[in-house]
Structure 1
């Protein structure tokens, strides 16, 4: 949170906490968020837990926008390095991350991306229907 405040003058961070909590603590975290009354809540935990947590918060009646940012806070805080500038410009930051954490990301990228590509291929080949709006 401090790094973000330093980098962005005027940024108002009303609360911050780590993402290490289980389903039995969701209600407590929801109460903390409710007490802070943020307009935007950034959820910096991995998928699919991030989506599960956001869904819980929504069903608990929390207001405002929820944005899932995955491990972005680790990068912003400097805990995990960003890719070299040439890789960022070439849009290869994902490759740099995979080289840094192959055990965690190789399966996600290989399986998840192949599943996505298969769905794209199926959609591209599907017969088109004329929609009347």
Structure 2
């Protein structure tokens, strides 16, 4: 029997593929259920080992998906394979398509104001069936309760939270109990990619699982962040060896 969750260094990843997970989220939307989704890469997993409060935040999520080929490879190493990556950006696109077909409402939270407006405009243009419940850029007073109240009043079916790691998970975790319904999902820099501000890796790079390397080539300043990848791999392999 296939396990519902695969644990990587203490983080429970939902054992699913992109298509099935979208169906799962559609069911939550139909039942108007409040749902917290984390799209986690190796950097997030490693941060959870170093920050106990952040790990407690992740524990509030109903679902954590494998956003990164490193997570999929780690699952294979521990002997509990995951079918594929389920990335934040791809989930955003599929949820936009689903919202278009079902006339669901969306709130966009995050990014710079110009990027946010470009994102909302493109979403309206390419997915005319969606309802825009509202939007707010990623620059706000962390302790301002007007923003969560604004979202609660709008009662969106989906809230895209593009504040970047770890802020997006922390913000959702701090406020999720205030809402009655809605899919709250952290999607990192997806607004930047969707708006065209940042280019996503070509499909060939994605198929070769080298999207991370493409980002590094385009943004060399990310090299320090990339150092977490070998550390993550070594930790996964080390933990497996200790269990033998």
TM range (shorter): 0.7 to 0.9
- Residue equivalent to 2:197: 79
The answer on 1:114 being equivalent to 2:230 is: yes
Aligned to 2:130: 11
Give 1:58 deviation, angstroms: 1.4
The separation in 1 between residues aligned to 2:207 and 2:235, in whole angstroms, is 28
Query: For 1:31 and 1:83, how far apart are their aligned partners in 2?
Result: 37
Structure with more strand by fraction: 2
Q: How much has 1:43 moved relative to structure 2?
A: 0.5
**Which structure 1 residue ranges, 5 or more long, are not aligned?**
129-133
2:166 aligned partner: 48
Q: Does 1:99 align with 2:217?
A: yes
Aligned to 1:98, what secondary structure does the other structure show?
helix
In 2, Cα distance between equivalents of 1:29 and 1:72 = 21
Which of structures 1 and 2 has the larger relative contact order (alpha carbons within 8 angstroms, sep 6+)?
2
Q: Deviations over 1:41-85 (max 9, x none)?
A: 1101111111111111114x1232210000011101111112233
Shift, 1:99, TM fit: 2.0
Residue in structure 1 matched with residue 184 of structure 2 by the alignment: 66
TM-score normalised by length of structure 1: 0.80
Q: More deviation in 14-23 or 47-56?
A: 14-23
In structure 2, the residue matched to 1:131 is none
Segments of 5+ residues of structure 2 without an aligned counterpart are 1-119
Distance 2:235 2:132 in 1: 39
Partner Cα distance (2:132, 2:232) in 1: 35
SS of 2:160's equivalent? strand
Structure-2-length-normalised TM-score: 0.46
Is structure 2 residue 136 aligned with structure 1 residue 20? no
RMSD, aligned CA: 1.9
Q: CA deviation at 1:37?
A: 0.5
